[in-house]
Chains A and B, each alone.
Chain A
Amino acid sequence: MIKKKEVKHIAKLARLGLTEKEIEKFRRELSKILDYIEKLKEVNISKVESTSHLIKLENVMRKDEQSSAPFKTLTDREKLLNLAPKTKNKYLRVKSIL
């Protein structure tokens, strides 16, 4: 069973605002899901190496040049900036950090 304190800590790591009600809800639900996942303890993995990708891939490299597809033009940049909630002089604007 995970504790309320842990739920709060995880939410903070995930930058996720939660109400008191949600904290309690997730404490119960996550405990139940983690109980189910405990099943993995039955598997002996001492001889297994870990894997993240299953199909052998090679890194794809490209030249470090200023323009690359598909955002070649200024209008493309403007298109992206238009999606931002707040901009100033073609920069994203954020609230103060301190």
Chain B
Amino acid sequence: MELTDLTITQAHQGLIKKEFSATELCQAYLDKIKEKNKEIFAFLTIAAKSALVQAKKVDSLISTGREISILAGLPCAIKDNILVENLKCTAGSKILENYIAPYDATVTKKLKEKGAVILGKTNMDEFAMGSSTENSAFGPTKNPYDLTRVPGGSSGGSAAAIAADMAIYSLGSDTGGSVRLPSCFCGVVGLKPTYGAVSRYGLIAFASSLDQIGPITKTIEDAKIVFEAISGKDEMDSTSVEKRFKIQDSRFKIQNIKIGVPSQYFVKGIDPEIEKLVRKAIKKYEDMGAKIEQVSLPHTEYALPAYYIINPSEASANLARYDGIKYGLSAKKEKDLLGVYLDSRQEGFGSEVKRRIMLGTYALSAGYYEAYYLKAQKVRKLVRADFTKVFKQVDIIMAPVSPFLPFKIGEKIKDPLSMYLVDIYTASVNLTGLPALSLPIGKVKDLPVGLQIIGKWFEEDKIFEIARLNENF
């Protein structure tokens, strides 16, 4: 087994048993990145020097015989919209091309305190707007399973890095599916935690009522370890909460679990081969003793249009901060202040970002606010009521992550609406704040397929327990 094949637990065991050093582990990953990043382009910044310094620190801790955290000395990758002090943080945008993070995000701080080795920052759709990583101002990431296809987005770099063994685990952010979709397309595990479970402090704001940071890993066990390390209340994020329903392994029995299968997630448009695999995975739970129930989420078809009002509305407000004055790209030629605003934003933002700012500004502007934004917020409430009702009947919901296989690079980028429709099975979860995980369940035409497991609010542990049972396909 190569060092770059290890899971978190395996690598941790190797370190404490002194089978290899943290420096050797770090170097193995840096070599792998050097070998593969040119073709996959998962990393925007490679922080070899600081990573090796950190690895060395962990090695000296180990040599003194002190106990180390499970994440100590383990190399990870961070999405480029999460601040890591003194490293560039571009959010995949030209407007932040030379922005150096002045402080650590709370999740970064938590990982560093556990001795994590940060290998670098991963590629993403600009400001996390997109489902393919093609909207990065620095070029698209490729899917490690087929270099002509997209890795999904917007955390495409973070998912591709795990699939191509360029890091043990990574962090992504999920606003409408941006952790789950790339995890599905790259055949890895990705969790979107309950809204509020993980601090957003130091995450570059996109749509603040939807954004959540989550882990991308090779196994469920790893996802749980990273989730535990980054979650919890943080005084720097007033929406973060300390709330978690822990379940004791001994108490958990799949025979007591009711799984809901929403009919609205298996309608026209889903690839029949994907549907087959998803149904097969659900059947496996039935064979293990779980009860399967057909459930209905009647407002499903309205979730995505509501999402595409709320998301750009929040984005247009959040992105008002890029003005060419405080930081980031600043237009040089202008004579007056308004000109600096207009030109800095014109030069600095890519097409999709401009489109969302326009859409959001339109939806929030005088005369349209009620028809669009207010209406969407009300529909959001109905979507949540659907889930609340279903969760009175069942413990967990299972559905596909994506209606289709990883698509070709260039296939959807010219038609923005077709790209928006990629989020059809994932956006509801963000609108409702629920936790959901993408679990690899097999392949169609050599391309990975994922099962989406949606849990009740703050019941990540139950998702992990259930996912674990079906892990080794």
Contacts and interface: CB of A to CB of B under 8 A. Distances in A.
Contacts of B340: 94-95
Contacts of A92: 325-326
B330 A85 contact: yes
B264 to A, nearest CB: 14
For chain A, what secondary structure do more than half of its interface residues adopt (helix, strand, loop), or is it mixed?
A: loop
Indicate the size class of the contact surface on chain A. 35 or more
A90 B456 CA distance: 49
Given A10-B362, A94-B325, A43 B299 contact: yes
Contact of B358 (A10, A42, A55, A57): A10
A13 to B, nearest CB: 5
Given A33-B359, A37-B309, A96 B323 contact: no
Contact of A16 (B241, B328, B358, B432): B358
Interface in B154-175: none
A61 B306 CA distance: 32
B82 interface: no
Interface string B235-257: 11011010000000000000000
Question: Which residue, of A2, A11, A22, A55, has the highest number of chain B Cβ atoms within 10 A?
Answer: A55
Contacts of A14: 316, 320, 345, 357-358, 361
Contact of B432 (A54, A57, A60): A54
Indicate the size class of the contact surface on chain B. 35 or more
Contacts of B343: 17
Interface string B304-338: 01101100000010001001111110100011111
A30 B384 contact: no
B289 to A, nearest CB: 33
B346 A29 contact: no
Interface string A14-45: 11111100100010011011101111101101
B372 A13 contact: no
A2 B362 CA distance: 10
B16 interface: no
B102 A83 contact: yes
Contacts of B380: 51, 54
A74 to B, nearest CB: 13
B365 A13 contact: yes
A43 B380 CA distance: 11
A29 to B, nearest CB: 6
A36 B376 CA distance: 13
A55 B195 contact: yes
Interface in A49-98: 49-55, 57, 59-60, 69-70, 76, 79-80, 83-86, 92, 94-98
A84 B355 contact: no
A83 B321 CA distance: 14
A92 B380 CA distance: 40
A8 to B, nearest CB: 11
A29 B413 CA distance: 13
Nearest to A62: B235
A1 interface: no
Contacts of B241: 55, 57
Nearest to B341: A15
B70 to A, nearest CB: 26
Contact of B103 (A39, A70, A98): A70
B313 to A, nearest CB: 10
A30 B302 contact: no
A17 B345 contact: yes
6 contacts: A14-B345, A18-B346, A37-B309, A51-B384, A80-B102, A94-B325
Interface of B: 99-100, 102-103, 195-196, 209, 235-236, 238-239, 241, 299, 301-302, 305-306, 308-309, 316, 320, 323-328, 330, 334-343, 345-346, 349, 354-355, 357-359, 361-362, 365, 372, 374-382, 384, 416-417, 420, 432-433, 457
A-B interface, 5 closest residue pairs, ranked by CB to CB distance from nearest: A17-B346, A17-B342, A85-B330, A83-B327, A60-B238
